[in-house]
Amino acid sequence: MEKKIVIRTRFAPSPTGYLHLGGARTALYSWLYARKQHGEFILRIEDTDAKRSSPKYLNSIIESLEWLGINWDGEVYFQSKRIEIYKEYAKKLISSGRAYYCFCPAKGEERKEEKELENCSCINLPSSKTKELENSNIPKVIRFKVPKESVKLYDLVREEITFQSDTISDFVILKSDGIATYNFAVVIDDALMKITHIIRGDDHISNTPRQLMLYKALDFKIPKYVHLSMILGSDRKRLSKRHGATSVTYFKENGYLPQALINYLSLLGWSTSDSQQILSKEDLLNKFSLKGISKNPAIFDYDKMLWMNGQYIRKMGIKELTNRFIDYLKKEKIYLSSKDKWYQEIAALHQSRIRTIRELLPQTSYLLNKDIEIEEDAANSYLNSKKTIEILKEVREFIALASDFSSNNLEEVLRNLIAKLKIEAKEIIHPLRVALTGTTASPGIFEVIHLLGKEKVLRRIDKVIQRSE
RNA sequence: GGCGCCAUCGUCUAGAGGACUAGGACAGGUGGUUCUCAGCCAUCAGACCGGGGUUCGAAUCCCCGUGGCGCUACCA
């Protein structure tokens, strides 16, 4: 039987910041591609830049991936633990004549010095001289000798891209501190880890010819490539901090659901042929394919993300919604364990009114807080007339007498009052809403009365009556 | 500057030469449901970057422009 090739993809973040949306999408696509084909997905941390890497970011990236449900196979690889491997391969390239030591000083910040490398003649140093310098204290790097031939990249979504090698100069593969550069380490790792498909951002396209040359020089098998276009902010610039929320952590902490983020991200640069919008993880695993990946950069639309999250909140079980609500109450230190049943009723009543869990807090403050502030405009519109106050006095008495405080019974009681007074329902409902919630928008008034409870309701009505006198 | 990628409604996209009167989703408008708001339902408006080819026929293929983005480090 023919040996089946196992698909292996990887996600290779550098721990120099939180997991951002672009990285999360790259990870997601790689993960989907591997999982769909029962392949393997590997996590590799590219932490060769010790100055910028930090454990704080590493932990946060891992936490974010776990939150999203993107799981990886085997151990987590760290490039910082593999520096000897890179060194070994760099030496190999030296001995095969594909690389050479360079003793030139590092290029300065200034663009002007671009010519510098052309003046570098280290490649022509006689071997005796090289030996001598190698053993001296002069800092040295290893440069790859770029072959004079064009390089073709076959990208699975962009097809063939050709690069002329004369636009590429001999680049550093091993820095003077003995650590491999990105372009070198990535090739060694991907080859050694038998990665079959490299799915990454298209900011790496320009790097790819260098990597391809290294594959060839080291006689490694070239993997398949898929370059994903960038995620941009609303100003069409690459998404970054100044566009606001860009880290997965932000979404996690602000009441978004992982499945909603996954769903939204999946659609940012990929689609099904029928443009299906709501896709569960199972749907994605079934339907994901390279064919649906689009080449143009995509602007992250916070509005649509919010809508998507709302969709998932509405589909959520009430128990789960309540638990998440309670988590926020705990965070705000206003949780009362005796009120779980009440919290559940609140959550149920607001389920269709929120787009993030966090929105529950401001939307239910009139229930959670002892007292309320009445908005001036609302009061002016609904609590100003003498008649209204008289009506509220009647309402107060009816409510005070009510023994059954279910919303159904409250509705019956108040509808009776409305009939008795021969007024329109809204003449009671609107002022009552303002008196009880402080605003003109809330869930159904009878549910509000029920959830508030007799004590708070009477107190708030009394306050409004007093206020008018 | 050089090299590269990309180009359909405001946004995400469907579309792989005739099925396009260019479809869906978000956002927006209007109407309905209703005690308000939200939700839900219905409905409207809204795009093929420009110019040349190729072809009987182009959103789709080719070329040139233009625009956006990326890379051009001893960052990744």
What is the distance in angstroms measured between the alpha-carbon CA of A381 and the sugar C1' of B15? 52
pLDDT, position A2 = 55
Residue nearest to nucleotide B4 (CA to C1'): A206
Q: Is the shortest CB-to-strand distance from A131 to strand B under 7 Å?
A: no
Residue A46, CA: closest nucleotide via C1'? B76
Structure token pair of residue A398: 């009816």
Q: How confident is the model at residue A183 (pLDDT cuts 50, 70, 90)?
A: very high
What is the distance in angstroms measured between the alpha-carbon CA of A156 and the sugar C1' of B54? 27
Strand extents, DSSP E, A229-319 = 231-232, 298-299
Q: How far is CA A341 from the centre of its chain?
A: 33
**Dist. CA A12–CA A82, nearest whole Å:** 14
What is the distance in angstroms measured between the alpha-carbon CA of A191 and the sugar C1' of B23? 43
Q: Is the shortest CB-to-strand distance from A167 to strand B under 7 Å?
A: yes
What is the distance in angstroms measured between the alpha-carbon CA of A441 and the sugar C1' of B28? 22
**Dist. CA A82–CA A188, nearest whole Å:** 10
ipTM for the whole complex = 0.95
The fraction of chain A above a pLDDT of 90, given in percent, is 80
Q: Is the shortest CB-to-strand distance from A389 to strand B under 7 Å?
A: no
**Dist. CA A143–CA A107, nearest whole Å:** 14
pLDDT, position A118 = 54
Q: Tell me which of A114-123, A341-350, A428-437 is least confident.
A: A114-123
Q: Is the shortest CB-to-strand distance from A178 to strand B under 7 Å?
A: no
pLDDT, position A114 = 44
Q: Is the shortest CB-to-strand distance from A104 to strand B under 7 Å?
A: yes
A7-41 pLDDT, tens digit per residue, is: 999 999 999 999 999 999 999 999 999 999 999 99
Residue A463 has pLDDT above 70, yes or no: yes
Residues 436-455 (A) near nucleic chain B, CB < 7 A: 440-447
Residue A437, CA: closest nucleotide via C1'? B36
What is the distance in angstroms measured between the alpha-carbon CA of A292 and the sugar C1' of B64? 30
Encode burial over A100-120: b for 16+ CB neighbours within 10 A, e otherwise. bbbbbeeeeeeeeeeeeeeee
What is the distance in angstroms measured between the alpha-carbon CA of A305 and the sugar C1' of B51? 39
What is the distance in angstroms measured between the alpha-carbon CA of A399 and the sugar C1' of B53? 81
**Residue A87 neighbours by CB under 8 Å, 6+ apart:** A174, A178, A180
What is the distance in angstroms measured between the alpha-carbon CA of A205 and the sugar C1' of B67? 21
Higher pLDDT among residues A352 and A123, named by residue: A352
pLDDT, position A1 = 54
Residue A141, CA: closest nucleotide via C1'? B74
CA atoms within 13 A on the CB side of A90: 28
Question: Model's pTM, two decimal places?
Answer: 0.93
Q: Is the shortest CB-to-strand distance from A271 to strand B under 7 Å?
A: yes
- Average of pLDDT values for A47-63? 92
Structure token pair of residue A432: 């009552």
Phi, psi at residue A157, to the nearest 5°? -110, -20
A57-98 pLDDT, tens digit per residue, is: 999 999 999 999 999 999 999 999 999 999 999 999 999 999
A264-310 pLDDT, tens digit per residue, is: 999 999 999 999 999 999 999 999 999 999 999 999 999 999 999 99
Amino acid identity of A128? Answer: S
The chain-wide mean pLDDT, for chain A, equals 91
Under DSSP, is residue A335 helix (H, G, I), strand (E, B) or coil?
A: coil
- DSSP character at residue A20: B
Q: Which nucleotides of B are covered by protein (CB under 7 A)?
A: 2-8, 10-16, 23-27, 35-40, 68-76
Q: Tell me which of A126-130, A167-171, A245-249, A274-278 is least confident.
A: A126-130
Residue A306, CA: closest nucleotide via C1'? B26
Which string of DSSP letters, residue by residue, matches A309-351? HHHHHHHS-HHHHHHHHHHHHHHTT---GGGHHHHHHHHHHHG
What is the distance in angstroms measured between the alpha-carbon CA of A197 and the sugar C1' of B51? 40
A297-343 pLDDT, tens digit per residue, is: 999 999 999 999 999 999 999 999 999 999 999 999 999 999 999 99
Q: Is the shortest CB-to-strand distance from A229 to strand B under 7 Å?
A: yes
Q: How confident is the model at residue A161 (pLDDT cuts 50, 70, 90)?
A: very high
Q: Is the shortest CB-to-strand distance from A230 to strand B under 7 Å?
A: yes
Which candidate, A155, A201, A156, A191, places its Cα nearest to that of A11? Answer: A201
Residue A239 has pLDDT above 90, yes or no: no
Phi, psi at residue A354, to the nearest 5°? -120, 155
Q: Is the shortest CB-to-strand distance from A232 to strand B under 7 Å?
A: yes
Residue A181, CA: closest nucleotide via C1'? B74
Residues 336-365 (A) near nucleic chain B, CB < 7 A: 352-353
What is the distance in angstroms measured between the alpha-carbon CA of A222 and the sugar C1' of B59? 36
A99-126 pLDDT, tens digit per residue, is: 999 988 876 543 333 444 556 778 777 7
Q: Is the shortest CB-to-strand distance from A133 to strand B under 7 Å?
A: no
What is the distance in angstroms measured between the alpha-carbon CA of A422 and the sugar C1' of B3? 81
Q: Is the shortest CB-to-strand distance from A108 to strand B under 7 Å?
A: no
